[in-house]
Amino acid sequence: MDYRRLGKSGLRVSEFSFGSWVTFARQVDLRPAKELLTAAYDAGINFFDNAEGYEAGKSELVMGQAIQELGWSRDSYIVSSKVFWGGEKPTQRGLSAKHVTEACHAALKRLRVDHLDLYFCHRPDIDTPIEETVRAMHNLIVQGKVLYWGTSEWSGQQITEAHLVARRDGLTPPTMEQPQYNLFERDKVEHDYLPIYDTYGLGTTIWSPLASGLLTGKYNDGIPQDSRAALPGYEWLRDIIAGPKGRQRVEQVKALARIADGAGLPIHHLALLWCLANPRVSTVILGASRLEQLQDNLKALDHKAKLTPDVMAAIEDVVQNKPEAPQRF
């Protein structure tokens, strides 16, 4: 396992990290969670991602209990939470100072830690002034309850505004962003954030590197009953896969699989390594409901050399979605 700095911070995160979205407390209970966490930790993964919105906090309960029972030293791993979707009442949602603060306290209890290493704003909140959210995060950092804070699926403009507010008022700016990034979703990482990587030292902890499983090839012949897209509450994913865009992407997946086969890789390894090939990516978050699934994904790290310039060019010929570079006039 290699490690990369999280933006301009001194924190070093494993190139692959492990997240609990969809799996913990839904597909995975305590015992398999401990097996998955152990396999990840033993492989060198040091960042474990979570959120208050994952199974209404139950995902954090499972992860917190599992890590405590495994007895890991607190200085050997990084754990995160995210704030936005804490409940149905107005005070349980969004990025007000009240919810940001109380959601942090609740996550600390669920995860059984005395501080969060990373704390993300899970989405932008257009109904709360950014100044209020930045100050709430700063206060948590001053109190020692959070070490680094960041954003998820914010625009480059919103991240810039948060930095300008922090600079103006002497507050702590965001360190990282958690965007979706994969062969089909590239615009934020490769275009929108370009002006702010070097300006603010932005790190990225990217999610859905396999496009919710599409880039594994599992949906090439329809939707398997044991897949994520078959779960209640994931009708949106079924609609994407079954719709015109999904059908087009399935055909692209089949073409990408041929490229991967020629390079001596399974397609999901190709997709994971493609994400890692971007130096702006600090870590790629893996998800798994089965131990063998996680172990297989980790094996991708043994084959970085197979993503040659020719393979990368062949990938671009298939997806044809590379964002345009900024123009000089």
Q: Is 54 a catalytic residue?
A: yes
pLDDT tens, position by position, 171-215: 999 999 999 999 999 999 999 999 999 999 999 999 999 998 999
Say if CB 180 and CB 153 are below 8 A apart: yes
Q: 3-213+272-308, which class in CATH?
A: alpha beta
pLDDT tens, position by position, 114-137: 999 999 999 999 999 999 999 999
pLDDT at 236 exceeding the cut of 90: no
Report, as an integer, the average pLDDT of 102-107.
Answer: 98
The letter for the amino acid at 254 is K
Greater confidence, 66 or 230? 66
- Long-range contacts of residues 38-45, Cβ cutoff 8 Å, at least 24 apart: 38/70, 39/291, 39/294, 39/295, 39/298, 40/286, 40/294, 40/298, 41/70, 41/72, 41/77, 43/1, 43/16, 43/298, 44/1, 44/14, 45/1, 45/14, 45/16, 45/17, 45/18
How much of the chain, in percent, has pLDDT values that exceed 90? Answer: 88
pLDDT value of residue 108: 98
- Among candidate residues 3, 41, 54, 193, the one labeled active-site is 54
User: Where do the domains of the chain lie?
Assistant: 3-213+272-308
pLDDT tens, position by position, 149-179: 999 999 999 999 999 999 999 999 999 999 9
Q: Look at 144-148, 300-304, 322-326 and tell me which has the smallest mean pLDDT.
A: 322-326
Q: How confident is the model at residue 82 (pLDDT cuts 50, 70, 90)?
A: very high
